[in-house]
A and B are shown apart, each in its own frame.
Chain A
Amino acid sequence: MLRPTLAFLAGAALLAGCPAANDDDSAGTSEMAITLDFAAKVGTADVVCGGSYEDMGAMGTTVQIKDFRAYISRIRLRNSDGDMVPLELDQDTPWQHEDLALIDFEDGTGACAETGTAETNMTITGTVPEGTYDEVEFDLGVPFGHNHGDSATAPSPLNLVSMQWNWQGGYKFVRIDMANEGAPPMNNWFFHLGSTGCESDASSTPPQVECAKPNRPTYSFQNFDHANDTLVLDLAGVLDDVDVSTNTLDTPPGCMSFPADVDDCVDLFPNLGLDWDSGECSGNCGAQSFIRVE
């Protein structure tokens, strides 16, 4: 007689104590599964760890990839009524948590071994109500509500030490680490995007209000065919007109988004559609050359 009772209690504990893995749909609405495909490319070539890519940036530099990851969040699709409908992300994958996902193009091999992980992820999966959708919109970055939590106890994919600065600064929304052709020690150029000007009592405490420069652009793509199109993160596009051959003296290698790194960032931010001074998009974020649809 004991066994069924215990089983029942276990079930109750599961319901009460833990978030459900998958909400049951309410009767009447049918859901459809959506998979968004992502790729990292230079022209037609995939960007891979250790691969060499010529003619990058203002000085035509050859770069090698050492890391390439990005957080994507708040994905919406436009339905036939013209309404933006949230893509409810699957919660049974370590790449997704609530409304954010990590896209990871590095496999931890070769040049990516220093900070990378073996696993890669080039899709985001979720559901929307059955229907037709012709536009996708999303934020590049971690939403403020998740950006300043404790990564030590956060769920995957927010528990990667290499993707976080600290509580005050939050996560690296985009991490593209590269080696360039410079002589050591000036042979690296890293791009880390994240919120800056975050105010709190200390660097180890989270801010209560949004940072002065959120640096979290929103991109939308019309005439988007979710079944056949791929969202391409373009290395040449994000480095367009940026001098990645050298680094400004006495600053971290490349652009790390914070104010003192202005000389290495000021030509890159427009490629994200971001205004360097405000950390917001000027007008809309459409004038960007980082992500395109193929």
Chain B
Amino acid sequence: MRAASQGGGLLIAGVLLLGGCSAPGAWTWDLPDGFPEPRVPEDNPMSEEKVELGRHLFFDTQLSGNEEQACGSCHFQELGFSDGMRTSEGSTGEFGVRNASQLVNIAYLSTLTWANPALATIEDFVPNPLFGEFPVELGVDDGNKDEVLERFATDPVYDGMFEEAFPEHDEVLGWDTVRDSIASFVRTMISGNSRYDQYTYQGDTDALTVAEKRGLDLFLSEKTECHHCHGGFNFTLSTVTATTEFIEMSFHNTGLYDLGDGAYPTGNGGLYEVTGRPEDMGKFRAPTLRNVEVSGPYMHDGSMDTLEEVVEFYARGGQLIEDGPNAGDGKLNPFKSGFMNGFSMTTQERDDLVAFLKTLTDDEFLADPAFADPFEE
């Protein structure tokens, strides 16, 4: 990834506008084979300087109210930028109700977070962990937000970085530039060199074992129906690219719970909590499956520990909970997706599916220095 000269960039941008076909711009994506160009908001074009500033801010605990946490405190690179917890603890010790999403290829998501159709861009999303109150994550609020920004004005590490990242701004240090640079950095977290990619896009027919190939065929089959929600190059229907015209979202009730009349545990009703529509109960966005091997525990509430458990849940067509506060048979949830009918599966087929899922692990991405904590270097 490198920046082209200013003049060339402008010229090419003009051609792009006229022709509507791809051409290299001021920012050149260094994309894995087979990957489309991500959609980038017009008012926040990519630049190397923004990405570098964003990387610093992402890992800087000065960005939380009490200087206890950074974005990177709940998003670890070696875990696909998830955190290995069922739900995560915020900077003030408060726990949320959702599993920390991995940050893998989120440049391509049509909506951010587990269940919010309104968060269409990373820029829309970034203020949530910064300013969110329910729960408090980074704990920036009206009382401390000026003080938090002031830390970056006086920290010599950031000397000139905001100016270089936002040369067109009169006021370079603000929550808009913090947001836009973090979004730019996170947008570069693209994973596309797993063994599955080597097999599918790079012509290496030996990259997968026989068992893994069987698992891939099962994954794509009408028997398991996995691909209907986890389809496409990024393994989620929730996908936009630079050329997308019609936005596809992806919110599904998978039958994880049915506390009665289709209800999910209070406070974790998914899309229903945003739209208020009864039929949206329990609908959550299908996450990408890339690097899923390292991003457990699984489901929106982190309630499943292993991929075997997850695959068996899908084979049953919903989760049966015999007793306790969440007792009920999710298989019978009236709002469940039509693709969640379940399927019969031998132990070998289960193991093949899990083996395939593990081929989506991209070791290069998980250790790429471009995404590493700059304060550890």
Contact = CB atoms under 8 A, between A and B. Distances in A.
| Listed residue (A179, A253, A258) with the most chain B CB atoms within 10 angstroms of its CB | A253
A174 to B, nearest CB: 15
B246 A204 contact: no
A156 B222 contact: no
Contacts of B236: 161
Interface string A139-176: 00000000000111101110111101110110000000
A190 interface: yes
Contacts of A156: 243-246
Contacts of A110: 277, 279
Q: What's the interface size class on B, roughly? A: 35 or more
B338 A253 contact: yes
Nearest to A190: B338
A201 B199 CA distance: 11
A159 B204 CA distance: 25
A24 interface: no
A131 to B, nearest CB: 31
A115 B283 CA distance: 12
Contacts of B36: 152-153, 159
A153 B34 contact: yes
Interface stretch (B124-132, B176-184, B326-334, B360-368): B326-334
Given A111-B279, A204-B200, A253-B341, A117 B246 contact: yes
A117 B232 contact: no
A156 B21 CA distance: 12
Contacts of A187: 334, 338
A18 interface: yes
Q: Is the interface of B mostly helix, strand, loop or mixed?
A: loop
A10 B220 contact: no
B227 interface: yes
A164 B11 contact: no
Contact of B339 (A117, A157, A252, A258): A252
| Listed residue (B18, B200, B216, B338) with the most chain A CB atoms within 10 angstroms of its CB | B338
Interface string B220-243: 111101011001111011010101
Interface of B: 11-12, 14-15, 18-21, 23, 34-36, 199-200, 205, 213, 216-217, 220-223, 225, 227-228, 231-234, 236-237, 239, 241, 243-252, 255, 277, 279-280, 283, 317-318, 331-334, 336-344
8 contacts: A17-B19, A17-B21, A18-B19, A110-B279, A152-B232, A183-B332, A184-B334, A185-B336
Interface of A: 6, 9-10, 13-14, 17-19, 21, 66, 94, 104, 108, 110-111, 113-115, 117-119, 150-153, 155-157, 159-162, 164-166, 168-169, 177, 179, 183-188, 190, 201-205, 247, 250-253, 256, 258, 260-261
